[in-house]
Amino acid sequence: MTAAATTTAVPARTYKAYGRPAWRRFLLTREMAIIALLVLVVVVSLAVVPHFDSPLTVTYLLRDIAPILLIALPMTLIIITEEIDLSVASIVGLSSVMTGLLTHGGWPFPLAALAAIVVGLIAGVFNGFLVTVVGLPSLAVTIGTLALYRGIAVGLLGTTAITDFPQDWTELAKANIPGTPVPAIMIPFVILAIIFAVLLHFTPFGRTLYAIGLNKEAAAFSGIDVGRTKFVLFTLSGTVAGFAGVYFTLLYSNARGDNATGMELQVIAAVLLGGVSIFGGRGALHGVIAGVLLIGVLGSSLRLAGITSDIINVITGVLLILSVVSASLLAWLQKRRSAAIGRKKGQAGVSSPSERATR
């Protein structure tokens, strides 16, 4: 029953901080609802889907969604500041092509990988420059750079695919942590996740992100350098996408211009599913990670059950819409109820952007 109790999706914007006991504030959040849903899906899958309980499931699942997990970290921060980065998948492709070209050109692999990550960083800097220095809307900018980076990637490599990478490195990308079914890529991911979580939830820098997302002008007047903050975030996003590109290349031993096409939408869908508000100012990393895992586990479980990819897409779409609509719906229900009860005490049901609570 407690499991069911935690699946509530109480919109966080409708109460003042500390209006309720701590256990409730912790358990009754969007993030917890997603985590509970994830647990439920895993439990049900274990019970009814054949072969879901094999350790291979864990290996394949985490291997496949590792790039999305990685990119979702900086994406969360960007969306919290009310911006968006649609060019990440193209940066993955570009970084993949750079890795391939440089390795092919005789560079030692670590150097080529480093260069590819730097290319990702430069791509991120360029996004950040256009958004913050020139002052353009990030949606338009990153639709442009989505086409630009993908075009460069496809243009550089033309028709060929580079498939010849040092065995040691491709083995490493596919290796598991000794004695477990967990892929080794999870080690850098966990380290990055801890860094991002600390950055977002336990540093002044992280608090400024929420402040920017809630109200840019107010943040600027309270002494936050909004431009610089966003610039840093886009740079981080590009760098992590660059790293994901190197990993992607090794995982499939394959550098191609069209690698990871369409991944940007998967990342954004997962981040939004994880309870990050596209209006900015709201979200937490544990929800996002659960969101990515939820989409991954659903896909893996349904594939094992012999359900085709189209149905998986429909379910992803429905979940995404439900996750955003449910919040609005609950707020609306509450508003109606408080209106019906007619208590004047605090008008608790009305949520307005100005009094959103971040947690």
φ/ψ (deg, to 5) at 278: -70, -15
φ/ψ (deg, to 5) at 183: -65, 150
> CA distances (Å), 310 to each of 1, 299, 315, 317, 324, in order?
33, 10, 9, 11, 22
The verdict on 133 binding other proteins (CB under 8 A) reads: no
The verdict on 101 binding other proteins (CB under 8 A) reads: no
φ/ψ (deg, to 5) at 255: -105, 115
The verdict on 213 binding other proteins (CB under 8 A) reads: no
* Binding to other proteins, residues 300-329 (CB under 8 A): 300-318, 320-322, 324-329
Q: Kindly indicate which of the ranges 99-107, 143-151, 199-207, 220-228 contains the residues binding other proteins, using the contact rule CB under 8 A.
A: 143-151
- Between 29 and 206, CB nearer to other proteins: 29
- Binding residue count for other proteins, defined by CB under 8 A: 100
* Binding to other proteins, residues 55-84 (CB under 8 A): 56-57, 60, 64, 84
CA angle 268, 269, 271 (to 5 degrees): 60
Token pair, residue 11, equals 């919109």
Best CA proximity match to 123, nearest among 237, 46, 33: 237
- Judge whether 93 and 153 are in contact, CB under 8 Å: yes
The verdict on 180 binding other proteins (CB under 8 A) reads: no
Radius of gyration of the chain (CA): 21
> CA distances (Å), 112 to each of 19, 45, 56, 115, in order?
53, 41, 31, 5
The verdict on 172 binding other proteins (CB under 8 A) reads: no
The verdict on 17 binding other proteins (CB under 8 A) reads: no
Taking CB under 8 A as the criterion, the residue among 18, 105, 159, 204 binding other proteins is 159
The verdict on 357 binding other proteins (CB under 8 A) reads: no
The verdict on 230 binding other proteins (CB under 8 A) reads: no
Determine the 3-state secondary structure of 84 from DSSP: coil
The verdict on 222 binding other proteins (CB under 8 A) reads: no
Beta carbon of residue 175, minimum distance to other proteins (angstroms, whole number)? 12
The verdict on 4 binding other proteins (CB under 8 A) reads: yes
Taking CB under 8 A as the criterion, the residue among 51, 106, 167, 221 binding other proteins is 51
Beta carbon of residue 202, minimum distance to other proteins (angstroms, whole number)? 28
Best CA proximity match to 313, nearest among 271, 265, 278: 265
Taking CB under 8 A as the criterion, the residue among 122, 144, 176, 216 binding other proteins is 144
- Between 206 and 296, CB nearer to other proteins: 296
